[in-house]
Amino acid sequence: MEDSRFLLACRRMPTDRTSVWLMRQAGRYLPEYRALRERYHLLDLCRHPELAAEVTLQPLRRFPLDAAIVFADILWPLAALGIGVSFEAGEGPVVATIRSPHDVNRLPEPDESAFRSTGEAIRLVRRELPRSVAVIGFAGAPFTVASYLLEGGSSRTYLATKRFLLRHRAAWERLLDRLTDLTVRYLALQVSSGADAVQLFDSWAGALPPDLYRSAVLPWTRRIVRQVRALGVPVIVFSTGTSGFLDLVAETEADVIGVDWRIDLGRAWQAIGDRAIQGNLDPAWLLAPREELRKAVREILARAGGRPGHIFNLGHGILPETEPDAVAVLIDEVHAWSARTQAE
Amino acid sequence: MEDSRFLLACRRMPTDRTSVWLMRQAGRYLPEYRALRERYHLLDLCRHPELAAEVTLQPLRRFPLDAAIVFADILWPLAALGIGVSFEAGEGPVVATIRSPHDVNRLPEPDESAFRSTGEAIRLVRRELPRSVAVIGFAGAPFTVASYLLEGGSSRTYLATKRFLLRHRAAWERLLDRLTDLTVRYLALQVSSGADAVQLFDSWAGALPPDLYRSAVLPWTRRIVRQVRALGVPVIVFSTGTSGFLDLVAETEADVIGVDWRIDLGRAWQAIGDRAIQGNLDPAWLLAPREELRKAVREILARAGGRPGHIFNLGHGILPETEPDAVAVLIDEVHAWSARTQAE
């Protein structure tokens, strides 16, 4: 059984060309996704494995991507703690808010049946795709999920989160313990269902100063990384806004560090040391004229310098305003240019 | 005439203790500011020099701050281009949107009478304060002001800004030319009115990848810095989210680089090289228990290591939720601890 290009890159092994997948490659920029969303609620897509699998596979039918990432909402596993999520039209997610240490103490034992649909979706997707395409499972990292719980949704300042963390440190740690436990179970289920790798989204970690990241976030993320790696699959830790402390993000012991576009890829790779790196095109570039887009892709590949262990991706999710054709151009440029330069 | 502690720090000269001021030190966290805002609209405070001066001086009556910063809205000078700004309750600013290159071409010649009130406010403030307290003038940097014009207000993704920049590069440069010219005039007026130093707020520069910052933003900011420095006052360039390219921010040639809290102060200072540095406490720390706040202040001072050229500040503006007493604690800790350690 041949390993996929993507999995080789996770282990920093040489490949014939640079592998590429894109965060939110299954999403609103695709007409076929929007068509499904006209018939089904977002949470229905998470709830029904065949729908989640269908959405996961949509971009793979269009583009020669090196990996599929299972479709689910980042807050979906909270259902196992009895926490419902809703979506107001045009707004981000709305969740029940944790306001006090008491609210943390009252969280129930997780009911795993609530998130089994994601495992089943992975099983369906893995069956459909050739081994050359990796299937990535994912979950939110504890800080980012905690921030939704404490803010009650998205935020610009993360003030409720920081206030709780600064004033109720013991309760904060209990909350992260609970989310860590939940996340390990959720990811173990995904791995046993066929996920070839796992990405932890710590999208909002960059809201914190490095000292607080080190003491109040990193140990929990690392605990998850260790437990998932022990299952035999590589782990990607992705964050944004962390250009100033990527060395700490690398201390999560993830195989691959996903970086945003706010730092030169070469510099970021230097900061994380002996790890694979994933990134880091600004998603806005997909709205640029096509020749400019190709040029921006080549600049990132040039910074990776053909070293094994670079997985091409955006610095965050594809914007809904993106034309699917631009995605085709990006993938073509990654594969064609890296094949050419790696042959030299 | 003795130079203030703050101005000595801008030139990296030794001082008896670390100087400190706080972004948005005049603002909603102060009951006396809220009382004024019940009677006057924000734009009235900008329009009437005696009101702007009063707001500027409010925190100076409470706290032994080393500098005052003139009160104005970042978009106030746009009035000189005939661009009105409005504020919806609870929302950020709303401005007329630039949608096309044609809109850029139609911008009129600036009418300086529209922003003279800021100069007059500086004159009043300078007269009130002893020379030991510096008076800082300010303006938005061209990228950040352009982003408001292109988005029509605040943004999370800066998509309209990036799209315009990527698709209409020549018009983007013309827009920045116009904003640069306007900003130089506005700041020259502030300097001739008595401002001892000037801060340029490029608050949203961190939305960009380093390559775009270098080619599409930096040259214009540097042009302003050079022209204002030629008037004989030091310039601070402040940005957030730029931890990955602070060396480029230092290429603006500002005397002082203001940094946010997403990077260790010592590391940031290394990145910017031979410049003074301003920062960098997370404003959320002002909501922490007082002993924790004092400890966080000391950690930043320890990282500055008593080297001349550190100006203590937050990494962004004071949050409205802050208790004024916490600000007093912060200032006391900066002055007391730095006096003690610098005497050693």
Chain A residues whose beta carbon lies within 8 Å of the beta carbon of residue B212: 282
When pLDDT is cut at 50, 70 and 90, the band that residue A188 belongs to is very high
**What pLDDT score does B250 carry?**
98
Average pLDDT of chain B is: 95
Q: Does B162 touch chain A (CB under 8 A)?
A: yes
Amino acid symbol at A336: A
* C-beta neighbour count of A122 within 10 angstroms: 29
* Per-residue pLDDT band at A344 (split at 50, 70, 90): low
Contact: B167, A288; criterion CB under 8 Å: yes
Mutation target vs B (from A282, A286, A297, A301; most B CBs, 10 A cutoff): A282
**pLDDT tens by residue, A33-85:** 999 999 999 999 999 999 999 999 999 999 999 999 999 999 999 999 999 88
Nearest Cβ partner for A166 among B268, B288, B315 = B288
Report the top-level CATH class of B5-284+306-321.
alpha beta
**Contact with chain A for residue B285, Cβ under 8 A:** yes
Q: How far is CA A235 from CA A17, A129, A230, A322, B227, in A?
A: 21, 21, 10, 28, 50
Average pLDDT over residues A249-273: 98
Residue B115 tokens, joined: 């922003």
> At B269, phi and psi to the nearest 5?
-65, -40
Q: Is the pLDDT of residue B2 over 70?
A: no
DSSP state of A256: E
Label residue B90 by pLDDT band (50, 70, 90).
low
Q: In chain B, what percentage of residues exceed pLDDT 90?
A: 92
Restricting to A residues 294-313, those with a Cβ less than 8 Å away from any Cβ of B are 296, 299
Assigned CATH topology for domain A5-343: TIM Barrel (3.20.20)
Q: Which residues pair with A201 in a beta bridge?
A: A140, A238
Sequence-distant (6+) residues with CB within 8 A of A121 are A49, A50, A52, A53, A56, A70, A71, A72
Question: For A48-52, A94-98, B158-162, B294-298, which range has the lowest pLDDT when averaged over its residues?
Answer: A94-98
Domain ranges of chain A: 5-343
A28 is catalytic: yes
Angstrom distance (rounded) from CA B88 to CA B71: 20
Known active-site residue B34:
no
Least CA distance to A268: which residue of chain B?
A: B244
Q: Report the complex ipTM.
A: 0.94
Q: Is B28 a catalytic residue?
A: yes
pTM for the structure as a whole: 0.96
Task: Give residue A1's pLDDT.
Answer: 47
Q: How far apart are alpha carbons A334 and B201 in whole angstroms? A: 37
Choice among A24, A126, A178, A275 that is catalytic: A24
